[in-house]
Amino acid sequence: MKNQRIKPVLIFAIFLAIISNIYAKTIIESISLSNIKDTTLMILEVDTMTKMTFNRISKTNLQLTISARSAVNEIKPLGVIKKIVINGDSTQTGFNITFNKPFDFRKQTINSNIVLKFFPLPVKVIKTVILDPGHGGVDPGAVGRKHLQEKEVNLGIAKALKKKLENFGLKVILTRSDDRFVALSERTRFTNEQKADLFISIHCNSSNDSRKANGFETYFLSEAKTDWERAVLARENGSLQYETGDVDSLTQNDISLILADLSQNENLKESYALALEIQTAGVDILKDVDRGVKQAGFYVLRTSFMPSVLVECGFLSNSAEEKKLNTGKYRESIAQAIFLGVTNYIRDYEKRTNL
C-alpha cells in the first residue's frame, strides 16, 4: 500500500526536474551595446551568473554560448560589431558575432552584468621607409679605377628607389638628398626620430684583393662571422674617420648587448627576412653573382631600432661593374630589384602579422 502512495510523489518530482531543466534558471534579461572610442561594449544583464563559452571561428567571427535563456532575440549591430545573430532555446543562447575588423575582447562581470569589451586588433602596416645613401661630401666611399665615386652611385640608386616606393604608396625619407657629409651617428639619430618602419642603407662594394670580385650582397645586423664580412664592415664603418668630435664607437661587446635586447631580436628576425627578399630579387633582376645574405655589425644598422639592412649593390673595384654602375639604366635596375625585395617583404610581413 505504501508504495502506491509514493509513486505519484516520485512522478511529480521527476516531472519537476525535467521542467526545471528545460527552463534554465538563468535568464538574460537585457542586452545593450554601446561605444567608447574604438571599443564596443556588450552588456548582458543576467539574474544569476552562468557558464559562458567562447569560440573564435576566425579573426572576425566569434561564437559565444551562454547557459541561459534569453529574453532578447534580436539586437542591432554597433561599432566594431558588424552583425549579431542570436539563436537560443530554453537552456542556452548562442551569439554569432561578426566584426568589421580583426578583433580581440575582454570579459568582466560586474554585479549581475556580464560586460564584454570588443576592440579592433592594432593593424601592423609598414608605412615609412628610410633610405640611406652611404657616404657623401668629404667621404667619397669606395672609388673605382675610372674614379667613379661610391657616394654618387648610392645617391642615384636611392633617388630612383624613392620614386618607386612612393608610387607604391609608402612614405620615403632620405638621410641625404644631395652630395653632403652626414655623420653615421647623425644618420641613426635622425632615423630613430622619424619612427620609420624600415631602414635601407645603400652602398657599393670594393675589394682590395681581387679586381674580379663582383656581385650583389645584402647585410643585416649581427656580429661579422667571416673575414670578408669583417673587411666590408671595416671599410663601411671607415666613414667614422671623417667625423669630428666624439665618435660614439660601439664595440663587438655593444653589439652583443643590443642583440640581447628583446625588441632588437625581433628586428633581427625581420631584418634577416627583408635582407633575404632583397637579395633574392637582386640576383633575379640583375642576373648577378649571388654573394648571399651576410651579417656584420654596421654602425648604421646596430643603432637603428627597426628592421634594417645594408645593400652592397656591386663592385667599384671591378672595371666592368664600375662601367655598369656609372649608367642610369643599371642604377634603375638595382632600384627595381631592391623595390621588388622590399614590396615582397611588406606583403609577406602584413600577411603574417595581420591575418
Q: Which residues bind Zn ion (CB under 5 A)?
A: 134, 141, 203, 236
CB of 238 to Zn ion, least distance (A): 8
CB of 134 to Zn ion, least distance (A): 4
CB of 236 to Zn ion, least distance (A): 5
Question: Three cell numbers at 98?
Answer: 561578426
Instruction: Annotate 114-132 with b (16+ C-beta within 10 A) or e (fewer).
Output: bebebbbeeeeebebbbbb
CB nearer to Zn ion: pick between 44 and 325: 325
CB of 176 to Zn ion, least distance (A): 13
CB of 342 to Zn ion, least distance (A): 19
Rounded-to-integer distance, Cα 136 and Cα 132, Å: 11
Maximum C-alpha span of the chain: 122
Three-class DSSP category at 346:
helix
In 10 A of CB 207, how many CB atoms?
Answer: 18
Which segments of 47-170 are extended strands (E)?
52-58, 61-66, 69-70, 81-88, 93-99, 103-110, 113-120, 128-133
Work out the end-to-end distance of the chain between its first and last CA atoms, rounded to an integer number of angstroms.
72
CB nearer to Zn ion: pick between 106 and 180: 180
Residue sitting closest to Zn ion (CB): 203
Shortest CA distance to 206 belongs to which of 239, 232, 241, 226? 232
CB nearer to Zn ion: pick between 152 and 270: 152
CB nearer to Zn ion: pick between 187 and 203: 203
CB nearer to Zn ion: pick between 141 and 341: 141
CB of 206 to Zn ion, least distance (A): 8
Asked if residue 291 lies in contact with residue 216, where contact means CB atoms within 8 angstroms, the answer is yes
CB nearer to Zn ion: pick between 141 and 282: 141
